[in-house]
Structure 1
Amino acid sequence: MLVLRAAAPSPFARKVRIAAAVLELDDRIEISAADTGDPDDLLRKQNPLGKVPALILESGEVLYDSAVIVEYLDALAGGGQIIPADPATRFRSLTQQALADGIMDAAVLLRYESLWREPDERSEKWIVYQGDKISRALAAFEAAPPEELSDIGTIALACALGYLDLRFEGAWRADHPRLVAWLDLFSDATPSFEATRFRG
């Protein structure tokens, strides 16, 4: 049995869980809750960065981060399933994943800024810097919403938008109607998107 160290609110862990479900591998993965803030959690030994997700293989080897894990899962499922084999399609999908992961990275950093710093210690310059990354990435996706609904680029995008809904009250929706419509299509086509939604 594979073991996925994950935190329920993490959009990166959600990406792996959705990928596993799309690949029909979720019954081969045990989800093990991890606390990234707890120095006694074994996560810091499993992944020296102390970050989720981390996938523990049956051999004991540990894979991280989410992009590596989903590539492993795709290979385990036979390859070319959520990461296309055709080079043109493959690199478009991987680039979309990188852009969506960038949204998640910036959004998580914004979350940490408000969670870990007192109001008078927060950097407005840093907040604007991260927010601008998100704005530019959303504008790029809004201009050309993905046509696919089940590759790694679109799974990552759905998780990024889901995280913005979770942590920033869906403020992105007002200015991105095409992405809103796209996310509705993705959600309808991908039951695991709703099943992995964090409610806390």
Structure 2
Amino acid sequence: MKLIGSAASPYVRKVRVVMAEKRLDYQFAIEDVWSADTAIASSNPLGKVPCLVMEGGEAMFDSRVIVEYLDTMSPVGKLIPQQSRERAEVKTWEALADGVMDAGVLLRLEATWPHRAEGERSQAWMDRQRGKVMAGIAAMAKGLGDKPFCSGIHLSLSDISVGCALGWIEFRFPEIDWRGSYANLAKLQDKLMLRPSFSETKP
């Protein structure tokens, strides 16, 4: 398998962490989708990463689709429960974390995209996206509470998703002091960073 992506993308990192936790072999191909000569469209017509290219050449995209598929490939370290209620809980955590990343990406693009003149940037739009990021982080902290992991006592896709979101916010928006506001999230993140899957994929 070949994973096409960016080392800085939190969505790509989520897939890479799952690959490591599941002990799956793959080739990591760096691709800058913003470059004029990017070839990502030949694998993903949406021009986005991550994109997983299978041995037969067929491609799979969207991190949520990819990680769900990867979890079925090996019985090692099951990350998504089979039971419907527990499964829905984990997928909801993933949706929350992805939503924080979605808002963060929109905020960053509005603030930094070089093809938009300074006067064209919308402060109201940026404030709205920042509000979603902050609300999402607060919801993560409330949902985690005093549990050792987001969905109980074992590592799951919930924690991987949250860890990748928080790591990216810390990387791209160091001025957002979520650690100072939510000690339980900081404790979880520090615990995740002790795992090679996280420490070796830090953006």
Q: Is TM > 0.5 for Structure 1 vs Structure 2?
A: yes
Is residue 37 of structure 1 aligned with residue 16 of structure 2? no
Q: Distance in 2 between matches of 1:149 and 1:97?
A: 16
Q: Please give the alpha-carbon distance, in whole angstroms, between the structure 2 residues aligned to 1:113 and 1:132.
A: 14
Q: Specify which of 66, 69, 79 is matched with residue 69 of structure 1.
A: 66
Trace 1:114-193 onto structure 2 (pairs within 5 A).
114-116=111-113, 117-145=116-144, 146=150, 147-148=152-153, 150-169=155-174, 171=176, 172-188=178-194, 190-193=195-198
Match of 2:193, SS state, is helix
Confirm whether residue 195 of structure 1 aligns to residue 192 of structure 2.
Answer: no
Is residue 23–residue 76 contact of structure 2 (8 Å, CA) maintained in 1? no
Tell me the percent identity: 39
Preserved CA contact (<8 Å) 2:52 2:60: yes
Cα distance in 2 for residues equivalent to 1:98 and 1:110? 18
RMSD of the alignment, in Å? 1.6
Structure 2 gaps, min length 5: 145-149
For structure 1, the residue ranges without an aligned partner over 5 or more in a row are: none
CA distance in 2, matches of 1:17, 1:49: 20
Determine the structure 2 residue equivalent to 1:95: 92
**1-structure distance, mates of 2:18, 2:95:** 15
- Residue 95 and residue 130 in structure 1: after superposition, are their counterparts in 2 closer, same or farther (change >3 A)? same
Residue 175 of structure 1 and its aligned partner are, at CA, apart by: 1.6
- After superposing the two structures, state which structure 1 stretch, 65-74 or 39-48, moved more: 39-48
Distance 2:140 2:32 in 1: 32
Deviation (angstroms), 1:103: 0.6
Instruction: State TM-score, norm by structure 2.
Output: 0.90
How many residues are aligned here?
194
Distance 2:78 2:12 in 1: 19
- Aligned partners of 1:13 and 1:53 also within 8 Å: yes
Greater helix proportion? 1
Q: Which of 108, 111, 135 is matched with 1:111 structurally?
A: 108
1:144 partner SS: helix
Q: Deviations over 1:61-85 (max 9, x none)?
A: 1000000010111111149811111
Q: Distance in 1 between matches of 2:121 and 2:183?
A: 31
TM-superposed CA distance for 1:170, in Å, is 5.6
The answer to whether 1:83 aligns with 2:80 is yes
Q: Secondary structure at the match of 2:80?
A: coil
